[in-house]
A = this chain, B = another copy of it.
């Protein structure tokens, strides 16, 4: 009998690479690779044909490799562990390093998942708002609103810094779209009295930021569609409406940035949506 051939049903069993692949769940290519890397050398090799034959004992080693690979160890690490460690105590360094590596990835993916969730949710909320309106002036009631704002003198384009300041200070208490309050009775290009901020769930005054409840009530509202530079037209429209109806406006007026540049993409300014709200007394 050729000693390089697998033994028959009477001898001790020996598996071809195909059989061993089915037993271990490792692919043919993986088995050949592990052989080449010296991780899992078949217990017998036919010199003439280079056929690989695996003994049951190789199965034990294969399971160890599989378990380590399932825990995301590199083949290099696996090779070292198989060579140097009889024990899990021997492998403690490897295990702890791996734990640290995995924890780092975990933290990263948690961050990413958080960002994605935030963006997705924001987007879904916006889609609601868009359907509600026909871009005409309307009268409505708004409820009270806890607001965190940073007030300054300047122009509209300075709001960005105000937003990031408030966002940084309030963090996870933010619960709505960015808003601005305009305290001037007339339109001002520069040196306007503006408060930039966000609705919040809770929070306290801090570093120039004021947190308090904005009173709700009756208001006239108009959603401006298009780039911010063209918002003047919408102000004309809403002001004309207020005058025609003889309402008295209560300052500050509000701008709510329903849709602007996104967290990733800038978007098309033609599609930006800004709601103008003027609180009124009838």
Contact with B along A81-112 (1 / 0, CB 8 A): 10001111111100110110011011001101
Q: Of B105, B113, B126, B264, which contacts A91 at CB under 8 A?
A: B264
Distance between A262 CB and nearest chain B CB, rounded to angstroms: 4
Say yes or no: B116 contacts A99, CB within 8 Å: yes
The answer, yes or no, to whether A64 is at the interface (CB within 8 Å) is yes
B71 adjacent to A265 (CB under 8 Å):
no
Q: Which of A117-125, A175-183, A199-207 contacts B (4 or more CB under 8 A)?
A: A117-125
In-complex Cβ contact of A68 among B67, B86, B92, B264 (8 A):
B264
Q: Which of A135-143, A208-216, A230-238, A266-274 interfaces with chain B? A: A266-274
Q: A89-B126, A116-B98 are in contact. Are A64 and B106 (CB under 8 A)?
A: no
Closest to A99 in B: B116
CA gap between A70 and B108 in the complex, in Å: 9
Q: When the two chains form their complex, are residues B268 and A86 in contact, meaning their CB atoms are under 8 A apart?
A: yes
B contact residues around A116 at 8 Å (CB): 71, 95, 98-99, 102
In the bound assembly, the distance between CA atoms of A106 and B102 in angstroms comes to: 10
For the complex, is A16 an interface residue (Cβ under 8 Å from B)? no
When distances are taken between beta carbons in the complex, the residues of chain B under 8 Å from A87 are 262, 265, 267-268, 271
Is residue A127 contacting chain B, with contact meaning CB distance below 8 A? Answer: yes
Q: Note all chain B residues with C-beta closer than 8 A to A113.
A: 99, 102-103, 106
Interface size on A, residues (CB 8 A): 46
Cβ 8 A contact of A88, one of B98, B109, B263: B263
Query: Once the chains bind, are A265 and B91 in contact (CB under 8 Å)?
Result: yes
- Return chain B residues, CB-CB under 8 Å to A81: 265
Min CB distance A105 to B, Å, is 5
- CB <8 Å contact, B265 and A127: no
Q: Residue among A87, A90, A115 with the most chain B CB within 10 A?
A: A87
Query: Which residues from B are CB-within-8-Å of A271?
Result: 86-87
Residues of B within 8 A of A92 (CB): 120, 123-124
Residue of B nearest to A271 (CB): B87
B264 touches A60 (CB 8 A): no
Known interface pairs A72-B109, A87-B262; 5 further A-B residue pairs with C-beta atoms within 8 A, sorted by A's residue number: A64-B265, A87-B267, A96-B120, A99-B113, A106-B110
Interface residues of A (CB under 8 A from B): 60, 64, 67-68, 70-72, 81, 85-92, 95-96, 98-99, 102-103, 105-106, 109-110, 112-113, 115-117, 119-120, 122-124, 126-127, 262-268, 271
